[in-house]
Structure 1
Amino acid sequence: MPNLTYKMNPMPAQIPQEKLDRLSRLETATIGHFYHFGFAHPAIQPVLPGKVIAATVTTLVIPGLDSTLLHHCLSQVGPGYFMAVDRLGDTKYACWGGGVTRMAAMMGLSGACVDGPHTDTAEVEEQDFAIWSRGPSPVTTRLYDSGGGFNVPVCIGGAAVLPGYAVLADPSGVLFIAPEDLDDVLEQGELKTERGRINEAKITEGAHLGEMSGATAMVSAKTAG
């Protein structure tokens, strides 16, 4: 008989650390110049400032009022993983609070993203845990044993995410990258980052952005006369 309550899959293989180290040196906003997949809605923002996480994604989906599976699955995760929690559209009930944060930190989870609210911000700060959410809520979930899925396909802020994806989460937002895209994203991101450093130095030295980008020439061509 199929299990219609809990869908449980094993932890995905971790992405090589060398690639994650390279990813951590990039910015989501830099990759956003050329890559158009996997960006979570900008309403999902960091709870703590200045956090940057590059890790392998483990996924979870739980219904609005129920966090039973989240409590259980925290025992399955560990260092190098980032938990992406799909709340099935709920934006009222906070599944992630102080106790969950403490357990996640004890397990060494690298970070988490909730497509919904969190609670107990002070305890998140106390644990110095990296989490992204849609903001705080005082209304929390309970243990109703109604079901959910672990390491299943999820949707996080409009982005389709599979377990085993790479994630880059930073002050600008959260980006999920399919493993088959990662090498190209790293290569283009590193190239664009270096070009950005060169252009920033030129502007510091007095160059005008419009002249460098070609925008001034475009405007001049249509306004000259």
Structure 2
Amino acid sequence: MFVINEMPAQIDAGLVELLERVEVATIGHVLHSGFVDPALRAVLPNKRVAGTAVTLRIPNADSALLHYLTAHVRPGDIVLIDRCGDTRHACWGGVITNAMKLAGVKAGVVDGPATDFSEIAKVDMPMWCRGPSPITTKILGLEGAMNVPVSVGGQVVKPGDAVLCDESGVIVLAPGEARAIAERAIKMQEDEIVLLERLRKGEKLPDISGATALVEGKRQH
């Protein structure tokens, strides 16, 4: 049986642009939740993309619903796939990569393996997964769910969430909270530029960060 829900509303283009100025690791200084398991790693280096979460839950070796989704995705979407614990079968390969790229999909995030990494590089499709596998899914037509809440890397993802991916990992944000978080992170990144300039001029990091005062204030004599 297949559960098919409508495609979610896409997040504002201005918010996407703002998020793509943010490093995921900077948000890690602000938040402790929302992050996908870091075992889901970028296939391609030096990519940072943000977009709207489109979700799939496809158990076992059946990728019929993923093929179906390629006719419905839109430019700006990021496809996140709950594989229900299957770490053996690669649901995402060269054909899916090309179909998603042609549809304008920003990235794929699979809680499981993928395959055809050379094709992913050739097409330049940003991709996060648990590594490669040569064993692929099949078009079985058994079951699955599209645009439902899913679990990807231990993180609940709802269709329409804001997603930001880069070399450090993947974070999922509620659309209503994403702008404030992005603005705070960008301010931190700007402050870091000032900090690095102070270091280059000879100041010491613990003096700037306050670590010197904290440690020496509790130093045993």
Residues in 2 aligned to 1:29 and 1:125: alpha-carbon distance in whole angstroms: 24
Q: Could you say which residue in structure 2 is the equivalent of 1:162?
A: 158
TM-score by length of 2: 0.97
Q: Could you say which residue in structure 1 is the equivalent of 2:189?
A: 193
DSSP 3-state at the match of 1:88: coil
Match of 1:6 among 2, 17, 29: 2
Residues in 2 aligned to 1:51 and 1:26: alpha-carbon distance in whole angstroms: 12
Instruction: Work out the percentage of aligned pairs sharing the same amino acid.
Output: 43
Which letter maps to 1:168? L
Aligned-pair CA distance for 1:61: 0.7
Residues in 2 aligned to 1:50 and 1:169: alpha-carbon distance in whole angstroms: 10
Aligned-pair CA distance for 1:43: 0.4
TM-score by length of 1: 0.95
Determine if contact 1:114/1:132 at 8 Å carries over to the other structure.
yes
Determine if contact 2:55/2:150 at 8 Å carries over to the other structure.
yes
DSSP 3-state at the match of 1:218: helix
Aligned-pair CA distance for 1:189: 1.3
Q: After superposition, what is the alpha-carbon deviation per residue over 1:24-79, rounded to whole angstroms, capped at 9, x for unaligned?
A: 00100001111222100000110011111011111111012111100011110021
Length, aligned pairs only = 221
Match of 1:175 among 146, 171, 183: 171
Query: Structure 2 unaligned runs (5+)?
Result: none
Q: After superposition, what is the alpha-carbon deviation per residue over 1:126-155, rounded to whole angstroms, capped at 9, x for unaligned?
A: 111111101111111111111111110011
Q: Could you say which residue in structure 1 is the equivalent of 2:211?
A: 215
Q: After superposition, what is the alpha-carbon deviation per residue over 1:136-187, rounded to whole angstroms, capped at 9, x for unaligned?
A: 1111111111111111001110111101011110010001111121122122
DSSP 3-state at the match of 1:184: helix
Is it true that 1:152 corresponds to 2:162 in the alignment? no
Moved segments of 4+, more than 2 Å = none
Residues in 1 aligned to 2:136 and 2:126: alpha-carbon distance in whole angstroms: 20
Match of 2:60 among 58, 64, 67: 64
- Stretch of structure 1 that moved more, 107-116 or 188-197: 188-197
Aligned-pair CA distance for 1:205: 1.9
Match of 2:138 among 124, 136, 142: 142
Determine if contact 1:12/1:163 at 8 Å carries over to the other structure.
yes
Q: Could you say which residue in structure 1 is the equivalent of 2:122?
A: 126
Aligned-pair CA distance for 1:198: 1.2
Which letter maps to 1:42? P
RMSD value, Cα: 1.0
Aligned-pair CA distance for 1:14: 0.9
Query: Structure 1 unaligned runs (5+)?
Result: none
Which letter maps to 2:3? K
- Stretch of structure 1 that moved more, 70-79 or 184-193: 184-193
